[in-house]
A and B are shown apart, each in its own frame.
Chain A
């Protein structure tokens, strides 16, 4: 069966180093990613998880590839919605490429089979999260709607 992909590209006026930091470090992800933080030691093969403020594990998986400031590939499964969890693991690739005074950020989230609820959910979520990340890096303020965890 054919895999299904969600691809989103945005350009952010920042440096690859600052964008990388914002994608990884809890003090930034809390601001643009609904108060979530990631836990990992960020080495290939290491476990990875996302955690809500109440310690709920929302998503988990493994670091597949990591090239700081350039590329991150995660094996990723939703953990808190049983229907999505049952669909199994996705693959998420983040690529950062310096272009002039900006960075081109590409997020590719893919599932091995078409028609999953998981891919539908992330396709709705990523544009808001990445718009808020861009606002945070360019203006110092994330979008209000992404500052709190309210998805339970």
Chain B
């Protein structure tokens, strides 16, 4: 069966240290990740939680996973357990896996995200909705870039 992978790259005028700090901070993630709070143990074998904002209507959130690799300022790999419906869960062959790669380039950092071992169900083909891995990550990572370069994340309209 097809196992889609989602890859996204962006370039941020910052340092790897500042980018890492924002990627791994719960307070920062609440700003750039639509209110979601990340809590992470920075070591291989540690746990990662991504909590949805209090009182939110999001049903896609509340992810829990395991840190597979952690090299501060360079690379983070973690597993991502989805809150699937039983029909979707039956199709999954283990959790999906997220990799962050930070590469310094002059006075900017290339940030690459790789989300692997997905299901076709995770990818939304209608570009006009917010659901789907392929619609979610670009919004979150655009907001992350704005936060680091301007001090302000992107304020997305609330999902109706």
A interface residues (Cβ-Cβ under 8 A, vs B): 7-13, 99-102, 106, 127-128, 131-132, 134-135, 138-139, 141, 143-145
Contacts and interface: CB of A to CB of B under 8 A. Distances in A.
Interface stretch (B18-26, B35-43, B55-63, B135-143): B135-143
A100 B157 contact: yes
A4 B145 CA distance: 28
A138 B143 CA distance: 11
A11 B142 CA distance: 6
- Would you call the interface of chain A mostly helix, strand, loop, or mixed? mixed
Contacts, number: 70
Interface in B116-160: 127, 134-135, 138-139, 142-143, 145-146, 149-150, 152, 154-157
Contact of B138 (A11, A128, A139, A145): A11
B138 A9 contact: yes
Interface of B: 8-13, 105-108, 127, 134-135, 138-139, 142-143, 145-146, 149-150, 152, 154-157
Contacts of A132: 11
Contact of A134 (B107, B139, B145, B152): B145
10 contacts: A9-B135, A9-B139, A10-B138, A13-B146, A13-B154, A100-B156, A101-B155, A131-B10, A134-B145, A143-B13
Nearest to A138: B150
Contact of B142 (A12, A144, A145): A12
Given A9-B135, A13-B146, A131-B12, A144 B107 contact: yes
A100 B12 contact: no
A7 B105 CA distance: 24
Given A127-B9, A139-B150, A145-B106, 20 more contacts: A7-B127, A8-B8, A9-B127, A9-B135, A10-B142, A11-B143, A11-B156, A13-B150, A99-B156, A99-B157, A100-B156, A101-B155, A131-B11, A134-B142, A135-B13, A139-B13, A139-B149, A143-B108, A144-B106, A145-B105
Contacts of A138: 146, 149-150
Nearest to B108: A143
A8 B145 CA distance: 15
Nearest to A142: B13
A99 to B, nearest CB: 6
B156 to A, nearest CB: 6
A145 B139 CA distance: 24
